[in-house]
């Protein structure tokens, strides 16, 4: 509870800092919202001539997109330092400061910088999911909406765990860019039905970099689609597995850290 209070205090302080420059905050919020709306516009534009894609209707794919956007918004709020970890914390030696504090080093990296405007993507995703549910005339109750909430949280955590594993590579190989950028480009692949991709990409998004579990497989359960077995409800287990792997990689990396030597 003490650590949780510290993290909340850090978030509140970062929010105060951002709101001190309201023009910049509003511009950043507008740019983020515009990017999210552009993604939706692409989906709508794509479906105008085709109507269906591999047996998926427009509103069904919008459900996948909306769930993915909700998870991505939560993840991107705390993820910036994971992308810059090798440059800012390893090469520049800022990780020394992190180790001096009596709080989890990993939590400090996540809480050191919040991209609050990115939460606009979560808000847009919520509206998209509500629109898709209404368009599909789904009669959802507490169970279904609770599953949606669980899916969004698991998806956000899965993103965090995957990119924290990639960030921990910087402990062993000092590189300003890191290995995260090419993996980041795979996120949009998880926003489409996986069967439209060739089997190597399906296997990659299922077993290696499991972005398919962020929204696609849970959507098949919500829509009552059959044929995928336990994959539809395996997102929490996949998230926990990658959480354990991320914790192991991070601890090994911290033990390997030798500072800058300057």
**Residue 229, pLDDT score:** 59
Residues 55-94 have pLDDT tens digits of: 899 999 999 999 999 999 999 998 888 988 988 898 888 8
Confidence of residue 127 (pLDDT cuts 50, 70, 90): very high
**Residue 29, pLDDT score:** 84
Q: Where are the domains of the chain?
A: 2-256
Sign of CA dihedral 84, 89, 94, 98: positive
Answer whether 29's CB lies under 8 Å from 18's CB.
no
C-alpha–C-alpha distance, residues 178 and 86, integer Å? 6
**Residue 69, pLDDT score:** 95
Residues 176-215 have pLDDT tens digits of: 777 888 899 999 999 899 989 999 999 999 889 999 999 9
**DSSP string covering 114-138, please?**
--GGGHHHHHHHHHHHHHHHHHTT-
DSSP H stretches of helix in the chain: 2-19, 22-50, 58-78, 80-83, 95-99, 105-111, 119-135, 142-168, 180-184, 199-203, 216-222, 235-256
Q: From residue 163, how far is each of 74, 78, 146, 180 by CA, in Å?
A: 14, 11, 26, 7
Residues 4-25 have pLDDT tens digits of: 787 788 888 888 887 788 888 8
- pLDDT at position 111 over 90: no
**Residue 72, pLDDT score:** 95
| Residue range 142-162: mean pLDDT, rounded | 95
- pLDDT at position 262 over 60: no
**Residue 48, pLDDT score:** 73
């Amino acid at each position: 509870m003490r650590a949780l209070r510290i993290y909340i205090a850090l978030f509140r302080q970062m929010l105060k800092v951002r709101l001190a420059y309201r023009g910049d905050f509003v511009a950043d919020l507008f740019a983020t919202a515009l990017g999210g709306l552009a993604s939706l516009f692409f989906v709508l534009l794509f479906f105008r001539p085709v109507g269906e894609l591999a047996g998926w209707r427009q509103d069904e794919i919008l459900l996948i997109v909306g769930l993915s956007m909700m998870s991505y918004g939560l993840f991107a709020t705390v993820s910036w330092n994971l992308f810059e970890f090798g440059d800012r914390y390893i090469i520049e030696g800022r990780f020394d400061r992190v180790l001096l504090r009596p709080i989890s080093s990993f939590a400090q990296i996540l809480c050191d910088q919040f991209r609050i405007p990115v939460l606009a993507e979560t808000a847009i995703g919520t509206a998209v999911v509500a629109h898709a549910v209404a368009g599909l005339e789904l009669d959802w109750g507490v169970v279904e909406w609770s599953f949606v909430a669980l899916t969004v949280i698991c998806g956000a955590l899965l993103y965090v765990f995957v990119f924290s594993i990639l960030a921990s590579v910087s402990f062993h190989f000092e590189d300003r860019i890191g290995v995260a950028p090419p993996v980041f480009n795979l996120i949009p692949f998880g926003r489409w039905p996986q069967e439209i991709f060739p089997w190597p990409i399906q296997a990659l998004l299922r077993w290696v970099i499991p972005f398919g579990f962020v929204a696609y497989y849970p959507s098949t359960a919500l829509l009552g689609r059959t044929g995928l077995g336990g994959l539809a409800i395996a997102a929490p287990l996949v998230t926990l597995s990658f959480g354990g792997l991320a914790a192991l990689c991070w601890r090994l990396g911290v033990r390997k850290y030798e500072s800058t030597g300057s």
